[in-house]
Amino acid sequence: MELNGAQIVIQSLKDEGVEYIFGYPGGAVLHLYDAIFQQDDVKHILVRHEQGATHAADGYARSTGKPGVVLVTSGPGATNAVTGIATAYMDSIPMVVISGQVPSAVIGSDAFQEVDMVGITRPCVKHNFLVKDVTKIAETIKKAFYVATSGRPGPVVIDIPKDITAPDVKVSYSYPKKVEMRSYHPATTGNKGQIKKAIELLLTAQRPVIYSGGGVVLGEGSQELIELAHLLGFPVTQTLMGLGAFPSTDKQFIGMLGMHGTYEANMTMHESDLILAIGARFDDRVTGKLDLFCPYAKIIHVDIDPASISKTVKVGVPIVGEVKLVIRQLIDGLKEAKYKIDKKAAESWWQQVNQWRSIQCLEFDRNSRAIKPQFVIEQMYEVTRGEAFVTSDVGQHQMWAAQYYPFDKPRRWINSGGLGTMGFGLPAAIGVKLAHPDADVACVTGDASIQMCIQELSTALQYKTPIKIINLNNNYLGMVRQWQEFSYESRYSHSYMETIPDFVKLAEAYGHVGIRIDKPEDVRPALEKAFAMKDRTVFLDILTDRTENVYPMIETGKSHHDMKLRVAIGTTTDRELS
Amino acid sequence: MRHVIAILIENEAGALSRVAGLFSARGYNIESLTVAPTEDASLSRMTLVTRGSEDVVEQIIKQLNKLIDVVKLIDLEETIHIERELMLVKIKTADKMRDELRSVVDIFRGKIIDVTPTSYVIEMTGTSDKLDAFIATVDKNSIIEVVRSGATGISRGEKGLHL
Ligand SMILES: Cc1cc2nc3c(=O)[nH]c(=O)nc-3n(C[C@H](O)[C@H](O)[C@H](O)COP(=O)(O)OP(=O)(O)OC[C@H]3O[C@@H](n4cnc5c(N)ncnc54)[C@H](O)[C@@H]3O)c2cc1C
Ligand SMILES: Cc1ncc(C[n+]2csc(CCOP(=O)(O)OP(=O)(O)O)c2C)c(N)n1
Ligand SMILES: [Mg+2]
C-alpha cells in the first residue's frame, strides 16, 4: 500500500487499535488533519485547549488501561500540552503525544511556531522521538506505543516535522506486528531467591502490613492482590494512586496512608515489623519524615522499575518484576511453604489495629447547618451505589473524595497524584465518559481548580459526554488556606478569590444544567436529580463549609505516628470564617 | 566515592543530551564525560566519571539504565580496570628550562609534539591522577593551555562491555 506521511500516521493509529485522538489543529499538523478528515475509523475529539487534550487522553487511559492519544500543533500547541504530559509522567500513565514540528529544513532557525519539543519534554516523558524520514513513521509509532504501554508505563512524544507528512511524498506502508528494541527489556517475573526470602519474612512476621500503590492498578494486579491479602490475612493500606485495587469495603482494608491517610493506616505502618510494598514508590506524601519512617519494619518491595526501589527508603528484599506475575509467585510460594502464619500473633496484631480504627478518625460533624464536604461525598457514594468513575482536581476536595468514596474496583478513582495538577478533573472526566458511555462519571472539583480548564465544558457539549460536576465550593484555595491556617498563623495570603463566577450561569452559558445548593437537606435530592439526568452534563455548585479542613494530617517534617486529628467535632453554624 | 561508568548507547541525535539532562535534572554531578562512536557505527560509548555516596551512585546507575537509548552499562569500579586520559599541555619555555622540562616529560612518559622557540606542546596519557601530578610539577606560570579528554576506561581480562 502506497501512502503519504499524514496517511501513514493515521493508518498506523488505526492499526494500533486507537479509538480516539484528543487534539487541536494548527499549521504544522494541517496535513494530518486533512488525513483525519478523510476517514472515520479513528475519531477525533476537538478540545478547547491542548492541556485539555492531554488530560482527556489521560482520563481515557486511566479508566481503560489503554494508551491515550493526543495530537497538537508545533510551538504553542506543543507547550500547552506539556503540563498534561508531565501529569501523565508523574503517575506513569500510558500516552502517545504526536506534535507537529516546523519543516525539517528550517528546524533550528527560530522559524514561526518553532519550539524544541523533544528538548522541552525530555525530562517529563518516558521517551521521545523526532521523525526524520517518511519511511520511519510506522516503525516509530509502533515503538512509541510499545514503550508507552509496557514495563512502567508513561507518556511518549513523537515530534513530526511538517514536510514528513506532506501529501505528495508516498511510500509503501505496512504496520509492524512487533518491535524489538535491544536497549529496552521490561522486567517480568521476580528473582526466585528474593521470592524465597520474602516468603520467609511473610510467614514469620508478627505485625505485618501490605502497602500497595498505583502499580497494582497499572499492572492489572488487583485480583492477585486480593487473593494474596486474603491468604495472608494482613491489614492492607493503599496510596492515593492505589485506591480501588483492593476493595475499600473489605474488612482487611484500613484506609489510605500518608499525609491525609487514616489514623489506623499510619499507626499500623509505624508499628509494623514487616511491610510488603507492592507497586508503590515511597513518595514523600506517604513516608513523612524519612528518618522517622517505620522504625521497626523490614521491607519487601515489589516494583517493575528498579529505580523506584531503595530510592528514598532502603529496602531489605527488593523484587523487580510485574505485580501480576510476582504476586502469583508469592501466592504459589506461600501455598507450598511448610510452616503457616502465627495465628496468635495475627490475632493480637488485629486487636491493636482495630483499636486504632475505633478512634474513627474520619468522623465529622453531621449536625452542621453548613454543608460539610465530606457529607456531599458520602451522599454521592450512596446515590451512585459506589459504582461511579470519579475524577478529581487538586486540593481539599480531592482528599475528601479519596477518603469518603470507598472504591471497590481499580480504575474508578482518577486523579493527579504525583504532579497534583489543578485543571485535571473536567477534561479527564470527558475522556472517561467517552470510554465508558454507560457509566456514571463524576468530577469532584473545587471553585479554583475548575476554572483552570473550564473551557472544556464546551467540549463536553459537542461530544455529548454527560458528566456530573460536583463543585465543592468553599470560595477558597482551600488546601492552601488550610496550610496557611496551620503553618502561617492564618495569614491567608492570596488563597481567597474576591471574584468567582456564577457557576450556575456559566454552566448554562455552556449549554449545560447548573444547580446551586446551599443547604444540607438539598444535597441528596440534587445529587439524585443530577445523576438521573442521563443525557445532560450537570454542574452542581455546592456551597460548603468554608472553614473545613482535611484530617487527619501529617504535617511536614512529622512522621506517621504524629498526626493532627480533628480535635473536637464542633458545630459550625455558618459559612463564614470566625 | 569516585565511580567510572562505561555506557553503550544508541548512536542517535539527542542521546547525549538525555544523559547530560538526567544528571542536571536530578542534581548528580559529572566530573567528566567522554563519548565517541564505536566499531559498530550504531553504538556510541561513553565514559562518565561521577562522585557520590553508594546510594546516590546506585540511583545514578538505575536511572541511566532506565534511559531507553542506553543499551548496556557497567560500573568499572566493580571490576579490575584500566583508566586512561589524554592531555595536551602548552608550556612557555625559556632556553634554560628546556632540558629540565624534557626530563620531567620523559619521567612521565610524555611526548613533545610541537616545538617553537618559546613553547612546547606536550602529549601525555595516563590515569587522571598521573596527569594531575605532572601539572603539579610544572611551574604554574609557564602553562599557557591545558586540554584534557576526560577519563576513559576498560576492564581487564577477556570479559568486556559489548552487545
Ligand atoms: C494534595 C495532595 C495530597 C496527597 N496526599 C497523599 C496522601 O495522603 N497519601 C498518598 O498516598 N498520596 C498522597 N498524594 C499522592 C502522592 O503525591 C503520590 O502521587 C502517591 O503517593 C504515589 O502513589 P504510589 O506510591 O502508589 O505510586 P505511583 O505514582 O502510582 O507509582 C506506581 C509505582 O508502581 C510501579 N509500577 C508500575 N507498573 C507496575 C507493574 N506492572 N508492576 C510492578 N510495579 C509497577 C512504578 O514503577 C511505580 O514505582 C497526594 C497528592 C496530592 C496532590
Ligand atoms: C496548576 C496548579 N497550581 C497551583 C497548585 C497549588 N494548589 C494546590 S491545591 C490548591 C487550591 C485548590 O483550590 P480548589 O480547587 O478550590 O480546591 P479546595 O482545596 O478548595 O478544595 C492550589 C492553588 C496546583 N496544585 N496546581
Ligand atoms: Mg476551593
Instruction: List, for residues A304-327, the tens digit of each pLDDT value.
Output: 999 999 999 999 999 999 999 999
Considering only CB atoms, A122 lies closest to which of B10, B21, B59, namely B21
Of B10, B21, B63, the CB nearest to A183: B10
pLDDT digits (tens, 9 = 90+) for B26-62: 999 999 999 999 999 999 999 999 999 999 999 999 9
Chain A: residue nearest B21 by CA?
A123
For residues A331-338, average pLDDT:
94
pLDDT band for position B96 (50/70/90)?
confident
Distances (CA, A) of A459 to A170, A436, A447, A477, A509: 35, 17, 20, 26, 13
CA dist., res. B80 & res. A215, Å (int) = 38
* pLDDT beyond 90 at A123: yes
Nearest-CA neighbor of B76 among B48, B39, B113? B48
* Mean pLDDT, residues B114-130 taken together: 96
Q: What residues of B are in contact with residue A123 (Cβ under 8 Å)?
A: 21, 25
**Which residue out of B64, B66, B70, B162 would a mutagenesis test of the A interface target, given it has the greatest number of A Cβ atoms within 10 Å?**
B66
Q: State the Cα–Cα distance between residues A73 and A53, nearest whole angstrom.
A: 12
Q: Are A442 and A537 in contact (CB under 8 A)?
A: no
Please list, residue by residue across A219-244, b when 16 or more beta carbons sit within 10 angstroms of its beta carbon and e when fewer do. Answer: bebbebbbebbeebebbbbbbbbbbb
Asked whether the beta carbons of residue B58 and residue A118 sit closer than 8 angstroms, the reply is: no
Chain length of chain B: 163
Q: Over the range A279-305, which residues count as b (16 or more CB within 10 Å of their CB) and which as e?
A: bbbbbebbbbeeeebbeebbbbbbbbb
What separation, in Å, do the N-terminal and C-terminal C-alpha atoms of chain B show?
A: 28
ipTM, two decimals:
0.94
All three cell numbers of A534: 442521563
**Are B13 and A130 an interchain contact pair (Cβ–Cβ within 8 Å)?**
yes
Probe residue for ligand 1, chosen from A87, A126, A262, A286 as the CB with the greatest number of ligand atoms within 8 Å: A286
Is a pLDDT exceeding 50 seen at residue A577?
no
pLDDT 10s digits, B134-152: 999 999 999 999 999 999 9
What is the model's pLDDT at position A575?
A: 40
Out of A479, A499, A542, mutate this one to test ligand 2's pocket (max ligand atoms within 8 Å of CB): namely A479
Task: Give me the pLDDT at residue B87, please.
Answer: 98
Residue B57: its pLDDT value, please?
96
Cα A235 to chain centroid, rounded = 24
- Number of other residues whose CB lies within 10 A of the CB of residue A364: 18
Note if A112 is an active site residue. Answer: yes
- Provide the pLDDT confidence category of residue A570 given band limits of 50, 70 and 90: very low
Q: Which of A16, A50, A456, A548 is catalytic?
A: A50
Query: Which among A66, A126, A143, A162 is annotated as catalytic?
Result: A162
Q: Report the pLDDT averaged over residues A344-370.
A: 95
Those residues of chain A whose CB sits closer than 8 Å to some CB in chain B are: 118-119, 122-123, 126-127, 130, 147, 181-184, 305-307, 310-311, 314
pLDDT value for A338 = 83
Residue A308 near ligand 1, beta carbon < 6 Å: yes
- The answer to whether residues A431 and A63 touch, using CB atoms and an 8 Å cutoff, is yes
Distances (CA, A) of B25 to A124, A226, A282: 10, 38, 20
The bridge status of strand A208-212 relative to strand B119-126 is unpaired
Q: How far apart are CA A256 and CA A271, in angstroms?
A: 16
Instruction: Average the pLDDT over A239-250 and give the result.
Output: 98
Segment B91-109 mean pLDDT: 92
Instruction: Determine whether A432 is exposed, middle or buried from the number of CB atoms within 10 Å of its CB (0-12, 13-18, 19+).
Output: buried
**Cβ contact, residue pair A307, B70, below 8 Å:** no
What is the per-residue pLDDT for A243? 98
Q: Letter for the amino acid at A56?
A: A
Q: Which three cell numbers stand for residue A249?
A: 469495603
Higher pLDDT, residue B94 or B115: B115
What's the confidence (pLDDT) of residue A111? 97
Q: Using a CB-CB distance cutoff of 8 angstroms, which residues of chain B are in contact with residue A153?
A: none
Q: For A147, which of B62, B68, B70 is closest by C-beta distance?
A: B68
In the structure grid, which three cell numbers stand for residue A39, read together? Answer: 476517514
Determine, for residues B63 and A305 on separate chains, whether the beta-carbon distance falls below 8 Å: no
How many Å apart are CA A278 and CA A220, to the nearest integer?
Answer: 12
Q: Are A159 and A128 in contact (CB under 8 A)?
A: yes
How far away, in angstroms, is A422 Cα from ligand 2 center? 6
Q: Least CA distance to A127: which residue of chain B?
A: B68
pLDDT at residue A567 in the model:
66
SS3 B15: helix
Note the pLDDT of residue A576.
Answer: 40
Are A182 and B163 within 8 A, CB to CB? yes
A162 as an active site residue: the answer is: yes
- Grid coordinates standing for A230? 486474603
Interstrand relation of B152-155 and B81-92 (parallel, antiparallel or unpaired): antiparallel
Q: Is the pLDDT of residue A116 over 70?
A: yes
Residue closest via CA to ligand 1's atom 38 equals A215
Q: Are A47 and A55 in contact (CB under 8 A)?
A: no
- With CA atoms as reference, report the closest residue to A223 among A129, A131, A297, A324: A324
| pLDDT above 70 (res A503) | yes
Do B55 and A130 make contact, defined as CB atoms within 8 angstroms? Answer: no
Under a CB-based contact definition with an 8 Å cutoff, are residues A221 and A303 in contact? no
Catalytic site includes residue A196: no
Give mean pLDDT, residues A477-490: 97
- Kindly tell me if the per-residue pLDDT of A139 is higher than 90: yes
A479 is catalytic: yes
Instruction: Calculate what percentage of chain A has a pLDDT beyond 70.
Output: 98
Mean pLDDT, residues B61-78 taken together: 96
Q: What is the pLDDT of residues A61-101, one digit of tens each?
A: 999 999 999 999 999 999 999 999 999 999 999 999 999 99
Q: Looking at the CA of A543, which ligand is closest?
A: 3
> Out of A112, A181, A314, A508, which one is annotated catalytic?
A112
Contact by Cβ (8 Å): A460, A512: yes
pLDDT above 60 for A571: no
Of A531, A336, A453, nearest to A55 (Cα)? A453
> Per the omega criterion (within 30 degrees of 0), is the bond before A552 cis?
yes
Does the CB atom of residue A186 touch ligand 1 within 6 A?
Answer: no
Q: Say how far apart CA A94 and CA A88 lie, in whole Å.
A: 7
| CA dist., res. A416 & res. A87, Å (int) | 7
Atom of ligand 1 lying closest to residue A415 CA:
53
| Partners of residue A306 in chain B, C-beta under 8 Å | 62, 65-66
